[in-house]
Chain A
Amino acid sequence: MLFNSIDFAWFLPIVFVIYWLVVNKRIRYQNLLIVIASYVFYGWWDWRFLFLIAFSSVVDYFIGRLLSTEERTNKRKLLLWISIVVNLGLLGFFKYCNFFLDNFITAFSFFGKTINIKTLNIILPVGISFYTFQTLSYTIDVYKRKLAPTDDFIAFLAFVSFFPQLVAGPIERATNLLPQFYKRRKFTYDEAVEGLRQILWGLFKKMVIADNCAVYADMVFNNSDAYSGSTLVLGAVFFSFQIYGDFSGYSDIAIGTSKLFGFRLMKNFSFPYFSRDIGEFWRRWHISLSTWFRDYLYIPLGGSKGSPYSKIRNVFVIFLVSGFWHGANWTFIVWGLLNALYFIPLMLFNKNRYHTEAISTTIPGVVDCFKILINYGFVVFAWIFFRAENINHAINFSIAIFDSSLFSLPVYTIRKLIYPTLILLIFFNTIEWFGRKKDFAIAKLETVMTRPLRWSVYAVLIFLIGMYMHSNELPFIYFQF
């Protein structure tokens, strides 16, 4: 079920009403409702893969239980490895099997040998990368004794399958989300209203900004040989807003929906395009994944401690794995590599934590503007690899940018079409800029506007969604990861 579908517009209020008015007396019933609703939500796409979530949940629940009674280090390690192998094994099979087969065949062909292995027709289960990492965080935290293993099976099922964030995150840490299923949830007016406000902003980002930018990004990327350098840059810029609107929009809807049910999820985006360097960008982009890799991969590898060589190695590892997490394609690996290359100089000169706070002045200074633009340029360049069909496409696209046509006007057909989207982008970025110190851009309205004004703003957003949304529901980009 898509957040931007009519099905979800019916589903959410029904679950909300049952949750607060029918099963509100007991936490266990509320958790059970969440499990049922989550399985319906996921099964709407393909019910067969429910068995996968259920299997993953059962394995990690019982490993958690066994870890609670096991004191021997070797046995504990073995249990942890079973969880890692099962979870990453499923992820590896569904997501990476064909990638490895293809590359295996290609590698042999270099040596003049042909091998006949047929790639498999595997459907990638939606959200598998997200819920796999979430369940893994549970087992690892229990193993490290950071979290007491749960004996509440229903709460654990609800934690793994919690529908607002099941298919595209934020990837929650067990230490944050699981304990919330044990506590009694109380309906609060302010939190519910804040949730709705965040859902509205998320829908605006997805349906107006991302989906409209997608039209022009697709137009340029699908026919990149035919366009001038300046048009290609425009296409890459549109893609940067497409992916930001799409993914952060999803996160806003997920976090807002959770608030409606009395849950607090972690922040996933914090206005990343206003970052002044790549270190700041990565503290603001897909925060739940970055911090997951930081805590479970980067720090265990040694983090930023040790020799320059080990620091560089660790940065490469984390960015390459992050790229590979996004998809079984060399384009994602190169995207990760580029980000590592951007990041390493900052780290070596100890500048990677230079900008930790958002710019405080209403109008940014010239230096900050310059830094934001330069950083944005680097990010957009890396997005080319993320969006391209394959490495050749990305390289040809990049080469075509840097010729004399870069200084020409973008092609007329695109220039003529993009004005409404450009106006919407200016409107969107202005609101994001003024709301950058809050959890989401329009959270600030609560404190600076009277109710009639606030309601007018919401009504305008709804109207703009109605005017500029696509008439067909477009899926979220991150569903494919």
Chain B
Amino acid sequence: MKRFFANIFKFGVVAFVFYIVGLFIFSRFLPSKRRPNLIIELGHNNIRLQEVKKYNNLDILFLGSSHAYRGFDTRIFINKGYQVFNLGSSAQTPLQTEVLLERYLKTTSPQFVVFEVSPMLFSNEGVESSIDLINNDLNDFSSLKLVLEQRNIKVLNTFLYRSIHDLLFNKTTLDTKSLSLGKQNHYHKGGYMSKDLSFYSYETFKRETLQFREAQLKAFDRILKKLNKSEINYVLVQAPITKAKYNSILNNDYFDSLMQTKGSYYNFNKIVKLDDSLHFYDAHHLNQNGVDIFNKKFMDLVLKNKE
């Protein structure tokens, strides 16, 4: 029996070394589509997470998914005299928001947090966003917690690769020149991403009731508790999406009532009048015309109320 356990242990070490070496060989020689469980591509979040380290004493910190980083134009807020940062990232769910706040809440010390929420994020596992975060930021114990929480092989592989990679080499950093965003996308100071003006073409969506995940709801509650404990005011905001997409979700009302119990909540799908074909470039995202209208309304309604 002893021999059995000893050899299991020895083999475990050998297999782990093989695994890590394999990850590096595959990352080097196979294109991303041929290694579906190893996603190590860097993105604009890399720049955002470098930049956020330079900020402190913010007036407003934006959190949330691409609805946040493509919906709150930092230039508009800066012009109005606010010091702001948009810490949104792709498909960011409460699980990743929690990690980001762990890392950056103290250093940015915001007076006010705008937390973008949507039913889709609460029903999302958060795999895409975890991978994005692990790839683009320095990893610490909270990344490991994220891996254990997600129990997903893609997240684990990315974590193993990035942890060893960052240990052996310097953390890869991008700048706006080296980052390939495509011609239409532009990164702006403070974390906002804009896209050249284009318009949404109509598509249909399956109507569905979204199931909210227990882990996301718990993480969400922990975030709010943390903000309350730090005496930081916050507001929960649902950013506008196309009516085609919004109406396909059957439990919007339930979500609204749930959010209202958590704090000051604004559902801008019901507040601003926007046109699917004029103010959006895809089903989820406002184009610059839509962003301007939304941000103005947001300032009038939320920031003025706050003052």
Question: A residues touching B (Cβ–Cβ < 8 Å)?
Answer: 6, 20-21, 187, 189, 192-193, 419-420, 455-456, 458-460, 462-463, 466-469, 471
B26 at the interface (CB under 8 A from A): yes
Given A455-B14, A463-B22, residue A469 in contact with residue B4 (CB < 8 A): no
B154 at the interface (CB under 8 A from A): yes
User: What are the residues of chain B within 8 A of A187 when measuring CB–CB?
Assistant: 1, 4
**Complex CA–CA separation, A463 to B22 (angstroms):** 7
Are B14 and A462 within 8 A (Cβ)?
no
Given A193-B4, A467-B35, A469-B37, residue A458 in contact with residue B15 (CB < 8 A): yes
Q: Which 9 A-B pairs have the closest CB atoms?
A: A459-B18, A463-B22, A459-B15, A471-B152, A467-B37, A462-B15, A471-B154, A471-B153, A463-B19
**Complex CA–CA separation, A469 to B4 (angstroms):** 27
**Complex CA–CA separation, A466 to B157 (angstroms):** 8
| Interface of A: prevailing SS | helix
* Chain A residue with the shortest CB-CB distance to B19: A463
Q: Other CB < 8 Å A-B pairs besides A419-B34, A466-B37, A467-B38, 8 of them?
A: A21-B1, A189-B3, A193-B4, A459-B14, A459-B18, A460-B18, A463-B18, A466-B153
User: What are the residues of chain A within 8 A of B7 when measuring CB–CB?
Assistant: 193
Are A455 and B11 within 8 A (Cβ)?
yes
User: What are the residues of chain A within 8 A of B152 when measuring CB–CB?
Assistant: 471
**Complex CA–CA separation, A21 to B15 (angstroms):** 26
Produce 1/0 per residue, B6-24, CB < 8 A to A.
Answer: 0100010011001100100
**Complex CA–CA separation, A393 to B153 (angstroms):** 35
Pick the residue among A193, A456, A467 that contacts B26 (CB under 8 A).
A467
User: What are the residues of chain A within 8 A of B37 when measuring CB–CB?
Assistant: 466-469, 471
Pick the residue among B4, B156, B157 that contacts A189 (CB under 8 A).
B4
Produce 1/0 per residue, B135-153, CB < 8 A to A.
Answer: 0000000000000000111
Given A6-B151, A187-B1, A189-B3, residue A466 in contact with residue B19 (CB < 8 A): yes
Produce 1/0 per residue, B224-265, CB < 8 A to A.
Answer: 000000000000000000000000000000000000000000
**Complex CA–CA separation, A242 to B25 (angstroms):** 28
* Chain A residue with the shortest CB-CB distance to B10: A455
User: Nearest chain A CB to B31's CB is how many angstroms away?
Assistant: 11
**Complex CA–CA separation, A169 to B101 (angstroms):** 50
Given A187-B1, A466-B37, residue A471 in contact with residue B15 (CB < 8 A): no
B121 at the interface (CB under 8 A from A): no
User: Nearest chain A CB to B206's CB is how many angstroms away?
Assistant: 15
B117 at the interface (CB under 8 A from A): no
User: What are the residues of chain B within 8 A of A20 when measuring CB–CB?
Assistant: 1
User: What are the residues of chain B within 8 A of A458 when measuring CB–CB?
Assistant: 11, 15
Are B22 and A467 within 8 A (Cβ)?
yes
User: Nearest chain B CB to A473's CB is how many angstroms away?
Assistant: 10
User: What are the residues of chain A within 8 A of B34 when measuring CB–CB?
Assistant: 419-420
User: Nearest chain B CB to A25's CB is how many angstroms away?
Assistant: 14
User: Nearest chain B CB to A2's CB is how many angstroms away?
Assistant: 13
**Complex CA–CA separation, A192 to B1 (angstroms):** 10
B36 at the interface (CB under 8 A from A): yes
B113 at the interface (CB under 8 A from A): no
**Complex CA–CA separation, A462 to B38 (angstroms):** 15
User: What are the residues of chain B within 8 A of A419 when measuring CB–CB?
Assistant: 34
* Chain B residue with the shortest CB-CB distance to A452: B14
**Sample of 7 A–B contacts (CB below 8 Å):** A21-B1, A456-B18, A459-B14, A460-B18, A466-B153, A467-B36, A467-B38
User: Nearest chain A CB to B16's CB is how many angstroms away?
Assistant: 9
User: Nearest chain A CB to B127's CB is how many angstroms away?
Assistant: 7
Given A467-B37, A468-B37, A471-B152, residue A459 in contact with residue B1 (CB < 8 A): no
User: Nearest chain A CB to B32's CB is how many angstroms away?
Assistant: 12
User: What are the residues of chain B within 8 A of A456 when measuring CB–CB?
Assistant: 18
Q: Which residues of B74-110 have CB atoms within 8 Å of chain A's CB atoms?
A: none
User: Nearest chain B CB to A22's CB is how many angstroms away?
Assistant: 12
User: Nearest chain A CB to B170's CB is how many angstroms away?
Assistant: 26
**Complex CA–CA separation, A469 to B15 (angstroms):** 17
User: Nearest chain A CB to B239's CB is how many angstroms away?
Assistant: 28
**Complex CA–CA separation, A420 to B153 (angstroms):** 18
Are A459 and B19 within 8 A (Cβ)?
yes
**Complex CA–CA separation, A20 to B37 (angstroms):** 36
Are A471 and B127 within 8 A (Cβ)?
yes
**Complex CA–CA separation, A469 to B156 (angstroms):** 13
* Chain B residue with the shortest CB-CB distance to A461: B15
* Chain A residue with the shortest CB-CB distance to B7: A193
